Chains A and B, each alone.
Chain A
Amino acid sequence: MGELRLMKGNEAIAEAAIRSGADGYFGYPITPQSEVIEHLAAQKPEERTGMTLLQAESEIAAINMVYGAAGCGKKVMTSSSSPGISLKQEGITYIAGAELPCLILNVVRGGPGLGTIQPSQSDYFQSVKGGGHGDYHLIVLAPSSVQEMYDFVELGFDLAFKYRNPTMILSDGAIGQMMEKVEIGEQKPRLTEEQIKEKYPWATTGKTKDREKNVITSLELEPEKMEQFNRKLIEKYRKIEENEVRYEEIQCEDAEYLMVAYGTSARICQKSVQIARNEGLKVGLLRPITLFPFPRKRINELADQVKGMLSVEMSSGQMVEDVRLAVNGKVPVEYYGRMGGIVPSTEEALKDLKQKIIGGK
């Protein structure tokens, strides 16, 4: 077992970045995730591993610094919170279009606009459906504990490089700010330039005589070729959907009613399930860990078993649309949520499940 530490979710991200052997972090402060760059700065990553750390002039600049370094095969990341993530969307679509691997953390706060600084899940659509312009997807991981914040940095990088696709960790203010026990992993070495050249032959590391020049771009002026490239991307997303779906089931084996929730909401619902079970109600929880790819097959299977589902979210009802698509009309699917930075309570969520799904109105 590795060293145990008490850490904030945001600090865990920073520590995991250094220990995963990341080459760089480029960011811009915004509440509630500024601890990521603060913790990194305090840790002197340049001295610890040679990792680059830079506070950029804006979120736009930060994501484009990520683009440049990722184009060289470097393991780099950025983090922000909702309004800053909106600014990064331009860079993110270019990164997706240029098929570059990188990691983006969104510690979501309530919106729209400047909104609030309290936790929210209202960036679900933006994260899983693309976010910027054009046909693309991010791989989206939804941690629900500080340990997962830590673990998903390495997982996120691995998936990003495996598929040459940006990965987003979709967290929220609660997970970013809370402290929990974290098992710290070993320090992984950063890749050398030779290793990068060997592993990522597409990277712009300087044209040598033995190969053609490498070009990182998302531009294709011929529509036929562009469509071909779009098809290639779709093929990639299909593979990701086949191989990378992750979820957790809590008391689903005999469940008659299902709650579906991710991140902080899943933690809330876990308690709702406990209370319901104590009352003799057969309630289970499905917690998507990957939001793209979405565990729609499993949800569809569970629709054959349960009498109804409730999607619990800190939004106006975004994921519920994906749950409904997965269920495809087999059973009723309802939504319960709070917005504006308010976290639904365990009791509220259970009460809503009883009213809308279990019945006896």
Chain B
Amino acid sequence: MDEQQAKTEDIIKKENLVFDKTKLLTDKAFHYCPGCGHGVVHRLLMEVIEELDIQEKTIGIAPVGCSVLAYHYMDIDMQEAAHGRAPALATGIKRTLPEKYVFTYQGDGDLAAIGTAETIHSCNRGENITIIFINNGIYGMTGGQMAPTTLENMKSSTTPYGRNVKQMGNPLKITELVAQLPGTCFVTRQAVHKPAYVRKTKKAIKKAFKYQKQEMGLSFIEIVSNCNSGWKMTPNDANKWLENNMLPFYPLGDLKTPEKK
């Protein structure tokens, strides 16, 4: 045992350290299901804020949805919004504190169903904020009901036989929609189910905060994610399903950048 312990201590020497716990994440354990994308995105956000050294200048807005308790994990000042209203809170904050960095963290139901008006209009006004939009095609927190982004024929607890688009309408590509608005400067769709995607997502988040500093308008980052509990799959299967079903309908990449509108 002693030998084992000595070995471990040897391994965790500072010079051998390749990854440290993100400083701006609190010690509170995530309540998210194993395999869920939220934890990764939380970490990326906090890494970016740490790297840009803007903790003292950042105010985040948590949504209603699985990430309703995001403020338990992020060690920054945060406000909890009513369902869908995060961009309105962000507008109120940014307009009265223009020198701060303000972001919202929202799910698909929050951003693309109940909060559609707030989303569209904050984008259209070109609020200097960053919207992080987690799209997993389902209402995770309330138990797997249909979301505005639920794919055609996809099963949910309110579409147990699959989403019938004749009855329930089509999945909403809100990211394509906001890309058309003059107020958005950076609109991109990313994912976090593979390390390469994670790195790209982090870059996108960092860009968004830089654009915010430059007062270029609203940055909108959709992150296509999974919900293995809601989808009723193992984490691995969920990621495969995401790759085979979500990504063809929600293709990754930049829809709009300040350089190329």
Give chain A's interface residues, CB within 8 Å of chain B.
23-24, 26, 52, 54, 56-58, 60-62, 64-72, 74, 76, 90-91, 94, 98, 193, 204-209, 213-219
Give CA–CA (A60, B84) in the complex, Å. 10
Answer whether residue B200 sits at the interface, using C-beta atoms and an 8 A cutoff: no
Q: Are B90 and A68 in contact (CB under 8 A)?
A: yes
Known contacts A61-B88, A217-B71; is-contact A207 B76 (Cβ 8 Å):
yes
Contact A57 B71 (CB under 8 A): no
Other than the known A64-B88, A71-B93, A217-B79, what 9 A-B pairs have Cβ atoms closer than 8 Å?
A56-B88, A61-B85, A62-B88, A204-B77, A205-B59, A206-B56, A215-B77, A215-B79, A217-B80
Q: How far, in whole Å, are A68 and B77 apart by their CA atoms in the complex? A: 12
B86-117 at interface with A (beta carbon < 8 Å)? 88-93, 95-97, 100, 117
Q: Is the interface of A mostly helix, strand, loop or mixed?
A: mixed
| Interface check B82, CB cutoff 8 A | yes
User: Which of A206, A215, A216, A217 sits near B57, CB closer than 8 Å?
Assistant: A206
List residues of B (49-97) whose CB comes within 8 Å of A's CBs.
Answer: 55-59, 61-62, 68-69, 71, 74-82, 85, 88-93, 95-97
Ordered by A's residue number, 28 sampled pairs between the chains whose C-beta atoms are within 8 Å are: A24-B92, A60-B117, A61-B85, A64-B81, A64-B85, A64-B92, A64-B118, A65-B89, A67-B88, A68-B88, A68-B91, A69-B93, A71-B79, A72-B96, A74-B96, A91-B82, A204-B93, A205-B59, A206-B56, A206-B58, A207-B56, A207-B75, A207-B77, A213-B77, A214-B77, A215-B79, A216-B78, A219-B80
Per-residue interface assignment for chain B, residues 39 to 52, with 1 indicating a CB less than 8 Å from any chain A CB and 0 otherwise: 00000000000000
Most buried by A among B55, B57, B82: B82
Contact call B78/A215, Cβ cutoff below 8 A? yes
> Is the pair A69, B75 in contact by a Cβ cutoff of 8 Å?
no
B79, A204: Cβ atoms under 8 Å? yes
Which chain A residues border B213 with CB–CB below 8 Å?
Answer: none
Contact of A98 among B76, B80, B117, B118 (CB under 8 A): B80
Contacts of A26 in B (CB 8 A): 92
The answer to whether B207 has its CB under 8 Å from any CB of chain A is no
Contact A90 B92 (CB under 8 A): no
B206 at the interface (CB under 8 A from A): no
Could you tell me the distance between the alpha carbons of A214 and B60 in the complex, rounded to whole angstroms?
11
Least Cβ distance of A28 to chain B in Å? 11
Total interface residues on B, CB under 8 Å, equals 34
Q: Which of A23, A62, A90, A213 contacts B96 (CB 8 A)?
A: A23
Closest to A57 in B: B121
| Across-interface contacts of B92 in A (CB, < 8 A) | 24, 26, 64-70, 74, 76
Q: Which residues of A contact B120 (CB under 8 A)?
A: 57
Q: Are A208 and B118 in contact (CB under 8 A)?
A: no
Within 8 A of A (CB), among B129-150: none
Q: How far is the CB of B200 from chain A (nearest CB, A)?
A: 28
Which residue of chain B lies nearest to A95 when distances are taken between CB atoms in the complex?
A: B82
Inter-chain contact B88/A72, CB cutoff 8 Å: no
Q: Please state if A52 and B78 are interface contacts (CB–CB under 8 Å).
A: no
| Distance between A29 CB and nearest chain B CB, rounded to angstroms | 15
B75 contacts across to A, CB distance below 8 A? 207, 213
Q: Which residues of A contact B79 (CB under 8 A)?
A: 67-68, 71, 98, 204, 215-217
B78 touches A204 (CB 8 A): yes
* Closest A residue to B58 using CB positions: A206
Which one of A65, A193, A205, A207 contacts B55 once the chains associate, using CB atoms below 8 Å? A207
Could you tell me the distance between the alpha carbons of A214 and B121 in the complex, rounded to whole angstroms?
28
B140 to chain A, nearest CB (A): 16
Given contacts A205-B97, A219-B80, contact A67 B89 (CB under 8 A): yes
Distance A255 CA – B228 CA, assembled complex (angstroms): 73
| Contact (Cβ within 8 A) B95 A65 | yes
Which of A61, A65, A71, A76 meets B117, CB within 8 Å? A61
- Name the distance in Å between B240's Cβ and chain A's nearest Cβ: 33
Residues of B within 8 A of A72 (CB): 59, 93, 96-97
Q: A23-B96, A54-B95, A71-B93 are in contact. Are A213 and B76 (CB under 8 A)?
A: yes
**C-alpha spacing A199/B74, complex, angstroms:** 25
State the CA gap A219–B59 with chains docked (Å). 18
Question: Contact check: which of B59, B89, B96 meets A206 at CB < 8 Å?
Answer: B59
